[in-house]
Structure 1
Amino acid sequence: MAGKEQKGELGGDVEEGAVTTDVPARLDRLPWSRWHWMIVIGLGTVWILDGMEVTVVGNVAGRLSEPNSGLDISAEQVSGLAAALYVAGACSGALFFGWLTDRHGRKKLFMITLAVYLSATAMTALSFESWWFFLFRFLTGFGIGGEYAAINSAVDELIPSKYRGQVDVIINGSFWLGAAGGALLSILMLDENLFPADVGWRLTFALGVVLGLAILLVRRHVPESPRWLFIHGHGAEAEKLVRRAEERTLEDRGGELPPPAGTITIHQRRAVGFGLIARTIFAHYPKRAVLGLALFLGQAFLYNAITFGFGTILITFFDVPSGTTGYFYAVIAAGNFCGPLLLGRLFDTLGRRTMISGTYLLSGVLLFGTSWLFDGGHLSATTLTACWSAVLFFASAGASSAYLTVSEVFPMETRALAIAFFYAVGTAAGGISGPLVFAELTESGVVGDTVLAFQIGAGLMTVAGLVAVALAVPAERRGLEDIAAPLTKSRSGQATNGS
């Protein structure tokens, strides 16, 4: 490496000027090892917490609205206002922590965001008034929004290009393991033979805190992203981390590692502002920007709008007792996780364009079919759940690929903030307005209103799939720097095509 050096905030020498490194190529050529499993467990398992959080709130909405719950709150407020505040917090947290993640590193922020998330969840369990519940739903979302930006950027920068697609899709899909667990947990905790009505729902949130603390202990051992380190002037630390990863891989696998496929020369950039992010995204990569927005809008409306009201639909139209909706939700959650798990590998073999467009289009078409059957009165609680499981098998893989897409198709200096930007814009449009609008549609008791909710979600997923047919980037098995060259290389005319 070349360049001047000075003392940096990490305690080592900070390089200035041009730096030539083979760190990205060395990370990408590593075979899978226990080192990679540590990353997956330490970072990816937080989506289990998120899934548990969202599902628990949906399933306890009926209980919270009961007179003896300990809170003066209605089911519509839980599934509507509280859900919208959670998403608003997530959007705000994504932008705030995404900006900090690109400035101060992945590791610092994914420790801080988990701490925020856990603290707010614990405070939710102690809610004594509706305003307190709403406040800490917002702050819980604030923490989880930061997790999306910090973790997706770290995962993509640490996982070899050969496995990046399937690992990213499965990790984001693990949300639904938590959803299944939360659904079953809520059944147990809402059983008044076991816990009083004003205690069970509080214990549900408290158990999520316990699981989060265990994840926090594992996460301490996950390293900083070497890619972030070398671009921010900490080349020696990046070299040390990569060498350690190589040594651990050789201990696990034996043999020899193939030679790295080249080097890259960059100029360190201490920070990237919102203005430069926007210019880079919309001036240099306009088609990718349209793709990212379409994917996030489609999945945000489907998940943040409609699934928040799934329990209400079962209660309103099929007279399912509020204490047993968790069984149905656990079934659709299993379908959601099986999609990314079984289809994830195809994102690296069949390719991004085929899989992203295919999952979005199939889920949209199947949801249109579900709405037609529901409108005709052909469904029961069981068959509606089966239809939803089929829809979400594909939709979950597609939604996970939205995060994969925006985390790999923009320059690495902007990665966390780019994830945050698309997440915030897409989720704000679909996730804040969606719960407010669809809470009324699904609780009205009018079949046509719920059919409209289904059709809006299906339509947006279908449109996003068509956009992916035209604009998806063939990023499978390619290094991140090859998909989108660093900003400094863009200035010297060495960037990849900005389409």
Structure 2
Amino acid sequence: MNPYNDSAVKSSPDGPQVAWWRELTGYQWFVFLVASLGWLFDTMDQQLFNLARKPAVTELLRITPGDPAEAGRVGEYAGYTTSVFMLGWAIGGIFFGILGDKIGRSKTMMLTVLTYSAFTGLSALSVGVWDFAGYRFLTGLGVGGQFAVGVALVAEVMSDRARPYALGWLQALSAVGNMLAAVVAIGLGKLQETGAIASAWRSMFLIGLAPAMLAIPIFLRLKEPERWKAAVREDDENAPAGGAPRGYKLGSISELFGDPRWRRNTIVGMVLAFAGVVGLWGIGFFSFDLIRTVLRKHFEGQGLDPQAIDGKLTFWVGITSLVQNGGAFFGIQAFANLTQKIGRKPAFAISFVLAAVSTAFTFWFLNEFWQIFVFIPIMGFCQLALFGGYAIYFPELFPTRLRSTGTSFCYNVGRLVAAAGPSVLGLLTSQVFNGYAEPMRYAGVAMCSVFFIGLVALPFAPETRGKPLPE
């Protein structure tokens, strides 16, 4: 019998176990919904930035939209602002990840929500590209902390059987947050197209402020997991007389990297995350900029004024985000089910290869309107499947006292290195391939090799399928 009441399993009296979700208690459902809500709003804020990045940089640099002579410059600064955002994401993720082990999961979740929601709203007040980048850095601090504490919280209140499915669903619902951002972009794009608003991107960030704030009252009712409370009691009992301060071992960086087992798991996780994060944030989410290039050629032939064109582009980029994240939702679910059948390592191997192939194919061949609805959802399915793996696998690599810290190091130190990815894409676009007609295509294909870096880590990765969380 599991000693933690909030993760007790209800077995079927008829023999076979019932569906995993039928095992959940009312409180387990509450935890799942709260953590999913926090992560959903988090990803919505992330996606609002992806959708607003290019028009924001264009306006803040005072460049005429669609000016081919300045396309490389816009791409370069869009890459810089994305890298700054990811840098804040990495730093905040590490800080809040450690805090999640030291002071608790629920308290840390509240702090991250307050941080990312407040600075998302302030991004709308930007007057130049560098203060815009500064707001994005501060937003990233909160965005980065949400994932580690959220997945640690859900992992610790679920049964071993329900855990991977619940974490898969939590990550899949992040795609719904991305889709909400797309709906916002579609609506605001229509308003800009008609002249009702002058700048859709500023309105996006203001809207991004409100929903996340609604989650805070819910977090106030959230309890800390029994596993974490037990780790705190053990830590206090083992403290030497006269003693070490409370939390001496909880969130300990020295133990994370001093113990050979946790050090190996951390390095493996960081390499796995690096490949997927660069692939998504350094290539995949720049598909929106590629779509803008393809569609602008179409709309300029219709003799529309620049504001109407910008509105149409915002609308159709929003549609692109919807179909990409629709594919992502099913990709994450597919990974969650596949990894339960064949194991974590084989599922990662398949996903890395599919992500590389689908992304390179999309950047090289997408040139027609109808292809958006075929190539983009397939690419989203393959790229985001990896992130379902991160949500399931990373909490399984560490004990309770280090789970939030270890997960955050995997996800965010990899991101710290990966922060160079968007800038590299921007430099490839503006410098290396600048003489080509559409340089982003060549830059995107060249960078797809990053997915194969993830394969290098798999021989050293432990297989955790069917095993309980380490203590």
TM-score (norm 2): 0.80
Among residues 283, 293, 309, which one is paired with 1:306 in the alignment?
A: 283
1:365 alignment partner in structure 2: 357
1:311 partner SS: helix
Give distance in 2, aligned partners of 1:172 and 1:467.
22
Among residues 64, 67, 75, which one is paired with 2:56 in the alignment?
A: 64
- What pairs with 1:26-45 in structure 2 (closer than 5 Å)? 27=7, 29-30=9-10, 31-45=23-37
Give distance in 2, aligned partners of 1:456 and 1:28.
49
362-371 or 393-402: which moved more?
362-371
Deviations 1:92-146 (A, max 9, x none): 1011111211111111111111111111122223334444322221111000111
180-189 or 449-458: which moved more?
449-458
- What pairs with 1:106-117 in structure 2 (closer than 5 Å)? 106-117=105-116
Deviation at 1:290, TM superposition (A): 4.3
1:398 partner SS: helix
2:215 partner SS: helix
Deviations 1:135-194 (A, max 9, x none): 221111000111122212112111221121122122123222122221221121133226
- What pairs with 1:400-419 in structure 2 (closer than 5 Å)? 400-419=388-407
- What pairs with 1:85-100 in structure 2 (closer than 5 Å)? 85-100=84-99
1:477 partner SS: coil
Deviation at 1:75, TM superposition (A): 4.0
1:347 alignment partner in structure 2: 339
Conserved in 2, the CA contact under 8 Å of 1:367 and 1:455? yes
Give distance in 2, aligned partners of 1:412 and 1:76.
42
2:256 alignment partner in structure 1: 277
Change in CA separation of 1:408 and 1:457 when aligned onto 2, cut-off 3 Å: farther
2:414 partner SS: helix
Give distance in 2, aligned partners of 1:111 and 1:287.
31
Give distance in 2, aligned partners of 1:109 and 1:480.
21
Deviation at 1:436, TM superposition (A): 0.9
Conserved in 1, the CA contact under 8 Å of 2:425 and 2:444? no
2:221 partner SS: coil
Change in CA separation of 1:87 and 1:436 when aligned onto 2, cut-off 3 Å: same
Change in CA separation of 1:83 and 1:230 when aligned onto 2, cut-off 3 Å: same
Give distance in 1, aligned partners of 2:119 and 2:381.
31
- What pairs with 1:168-183 in structure 2 (closer than 5 Å)? 168-183=167-182
Give distance in 2, aligned partners of 1:220 and 1:347.
34
2:147 alignment partner in structure 1: 148
Deviation at 1:72, TM superposition (A): 5.2
Deviation at 1:427, TM superposition (A): 0.8
1:437 alignment partner in structure 2: 424
Deviation at 1:414, TM superposition (A): 1.2
Give distance in 2, aligned partners of 1:440 and 1:221.
47
Deviation at 1:65, TM superposition (A): 4.4
Give distance in 2, aligned partners of 1:139 and 1:400.
26
Change in CA separation of 1:187 and 1:284 when aligned onto 2, cut-off 3 Å: same
Whichever residue aligns with residue 322 of structure 2, its letter is A
Whether 1:184 aligns to 2:171 is: no
Give distance in 1, aligned partners of 2:202 and 2:408.
30
CA RMSD of aligned residues (A): 3.0
2:440 alignment partner in structure 1: 450
Deviation at 1:448, TM superposition (A): 7.7
2:368 alignment partner in structure 1: 380
Change in CA separation of 1:474 and 1:435 when aligned onto 2, cut-off 3 Å: same
Change in CA separation of 1:453 and 1:366 when aligned onto 2, cut-off 3 Å: same
Give distance in 1, aligned partners of 2:155 and 2:62.
44
Whether 1:461 aligns to 2:448 is: no
Give distance in 2, aligned partners of 1:64 and 1:292.
34
Displacement over 6 Å in runs of 4+:
none
Whether 1:230 aligns to 2:230 is: yes
Deviation at 1:228, TM superposition (A): 0.9
Whether 1:23 aligns to 2:3 is: yes
Whichever residue aligns with residue 320 of structure 2, its letter is F
Among residues 316, 323, 327, which one is paired with 2:293 in the alignment?
A: 316
Among residues 411, 416, 425, which one is paired with 1:423 in the alignment?
A: 411
Among residues 299, 324, 328, which one is paired with 1:336 in the alignment?
A: 328
Conserved in 2, the CA contact under 8 Å of 1:79 and 1:309? no
- What pairs with 1:72-83 in structure 2 (closer than 5 Å)? 75-76=74-75, 79-83=78-82
Number of residue pairs aligned between Structure 1 and Structure 2: 421
Give distance in 2, aligned partners of 1:142 and 1:72.
28
Give distance in 2, aligned partners of 1:229 and 1:49.
27
Structure 2: which 5+ runs fail to align?
11-22, 64-72, 236-245, 299-308
Deviations 1:226-257 (A, max 9, x none): 1111110189xxxxxxxxxxxxxxxxxxxxxx
Conserved in 2, the CA contact under 8 Å of 1:317 and 1:445? no
Give distance in 1, aligned partners of 2:126 and 2:153.
34
Conserved in 1, the CA contact under 8 Å of 2:42 and 2:212? no
Give distance in 2, aligned partners of 1:92 and 1:423.
11
103-112 or 267-276: which moved more?
267-276
Give distance in 2, aligned partners of 1:183 and 1:442.
25
Decide which structure has greater helix share. Answer: 2
Conserved in 2, the CA contact under 8 Å of 1:42 and 1:215? yes
Deviations 1:340-381 (A, max 9, x none): 13442333344323322222222223334445xx2xx57424
Conserved in 1, the CA contact under 8 Å of 2:77 and 2:426? no
Whichever residue aligns with residue 410 of structure 2, its letter is F
Deviations 1:261-282 (A, max 9, x none): xxxxxx99653432221112xx
Conserved in 1, the CA contact under 8 Å of 2:87 and 2:137? yes
47-56 or 101-110: which moved more?
47-56
- What pairs with 1:185-200 in structure 2 (closer than 5 Å)? 185-190=184-189, 191-192=191-192, 193=194, 195-198=196-199, 200=200
Give distance in 1, aligned partners of 2:162 and 2:134.
39
Whichever residue aligns with residue 209 of structure 1, its letter is L
Give distance in 2, aligned partners of 1:445 and 1:88.
30
Give distance in 2, aligned partners of 1:451 and 1:347.
32
Give distance in 1, aligned partners of 2:118 and 2:463.
40
